[in-house]
Amino acid sequence: MLNIELIQSDTENVQASLLRRGATFPLDELLTLDNKRKLIQKELDSLRAERKKANHQIGLEKHPSKGLLVEMKAKGQKVKKLEIEYRSTQQDIRTILLNIPNIPRADVPDGKDESSNQIIRTIKSAPKSESNFAPYWEIAKRLEIIDLTASAKISGSRFYVLNGKGAKLQRSLISWMLDMHIEEHGYQELYLPYLVNTETVTGSGHLPKFSETMYHDQEDDLWLIPTAEVPITSMFRDDILNPDQIPAQFVAHTPCFRREKAAAGSQTRGIKRVHQFDKVEMYKFVSPDESDEEFLKLVDNAEEIIRRLELTYRVIELCTGDLGFSAVKTFDLEVWSPGSKDWLEVSSCSNCDDFQSRRANIRYRPKSGSKPIYPHSLNGSGLAIPRILIAILENYQQSDGSVLVPEVLRKYTGFDKIDC
């Protein structure tokens, strides 16, 4: 959530910055409501002071006048009415603020959509095979490791079942990535709920904007998480953290559930874009002055996973029109799949500044006894499973039809290749 004081003091620049996202937002209406709130607050303060003075006077008199009692009752009724109006105005202000996205950093490239995203760097890896590269759905069918027929019976389209060594390969990827982030990158592992309440999804910035792309149980008012970012953000909701609790960095493996709608075609074929998938997520709470440096470290942590898998990849900076709702800056990591002849996004790393902390009311004291401030939050996939699985199958396929297991995974899988 944006700082309303910033909107008040620099309205023109805030609106111009938001316009870079390709949309306008009702800042004038917001400021009108905030001025109304201040006037109501001023009147309430005055009435409460008058009531306090009158109460003191009544306490001194044995027989207070009827007129004074009637006046006191009228003022009490007016206070109640104004309190209701104040709460209603506050809610209107919050509703507008919750629907305004974060402000892109000044150095984020301008653009309407992904066509304006910029390639920062491309890191090439040596080919793993001299065979002609088949697409992963052909490889998976031949090796009988992905069963889309079974998943369609169970759940419908855009789900998948992994069999045998396919399931073991996914589990090994998850275990290895967690170990990497914990043992080498210093993250603390979390196990998280997959169902969360509305306050939690609002705090991360996924509500109200993305309500149509999430699964919701209306009776219990619980939402299936689209990413571990959602529950991690609210771990410290409404808390004031001590100086020794910042920086904090967490890693978690969770399934992710998304109701994203997409037309049938190459984007929805197989396991590339599904309603349920697994992901290892990195998340940091950091001080504002360390935010940029820690963001680059987080990106490098995700890159290191790809480097250890010896895959060709590139780093993309998202333009303003493609930037996520809560982010001020985002780098995507894409791996090359030679069979599909496509770049696959396997990680999206974002710096959200204090946007999520304000929404979830998370603060910390930089020093003992100092005034609490909002930490910055950073998040990134480290990595998303289905697409990294695709990349491994396509890049490590051999001329005899088998698929080699990347060397870093072999102690987890217990086998060095997948064959018929």
- The secondary structure of 95-164 as a DSSP string is HHHHTS-PPPPTTSPP-SSGGG-EEEEEE----S-SSPPPPHHHHHHHHT-EEHHHHHHHT-SS--EE-H
CA-to-CA distance for 9 and 12, rounded, in angstroms? 9
Q: Is 192 helix (H, G, I), strand (E, B) or coil?
A: coil
Residue spans in the chain of domains classed CATH 3.30.930.10: 114-418
pLDDT of residue 295: 98
Whether this prediction's pTM lies above 0.85 is answered by yes
pLDDT of residue 266: 54
pLDDT of residue 74: 84
The contacts of residue 139 (CB under 8 Å, 6+ apart) are: 339, 393, 394, 397, 403
CA-to-CA distance for 374 and 358, rounded, in angstroms? 7
Residue spans in the chain of domains classed CATH 1.10.287.40: 4-98
CATH number of 114-418: 3.30.930.10
pLDDT of residue 265: 56
DSSP letter at 182? I
pLDDT of residue 163: 97
Print pLDDT tens along the chain (420 aa): 999 999 999 999 999 999 999 989 999 999 999 999 999 999 999 998 888 887 766 666 667 677 767 777 888 899 999 999 999 999 999 999 999 999 999 999 999 999 999 999 999 998 777 668 999 999 999 999 999 999 999 999 999 999 999 999 999 999 999 999 999 999 999 999 999 999 999 999 999 999 999 999 999 999 999 999 999 999 999 999 999 999 999 999 999 999 987 655 555 678 999 999 999 999 999 999 999 999 999 999 999 999 999 999 999 999 999 999 999 999 999 999 999 999 999 999 999 999 999 999 999 999 999 999 999 999 999 999 999 999 999 999 999 999 999 999 999 999 999 998
CA-to-CA distance for 239 and 226, rounded, in angstroms? 24
CA-to-CA distance for 394 and 403, rounded, in angstroms? 8
Query: Which of these CATH numbers, 3.90.550.10, 1.10.287.40, 3.40.50.300, 3.50.50.60, describes 4-98?
Result: 1.10.287.40
CA-to-CA distance for 106 and 160, rounded, in angstroms? 41
Integer Rg of the chain from CA:
27
Q: What is the pLDDT of residues 242-254, one digit of tens each?
A: 999 999 999 999 9
Phi and psi torsions of 373, nearest 5°: -130, 170
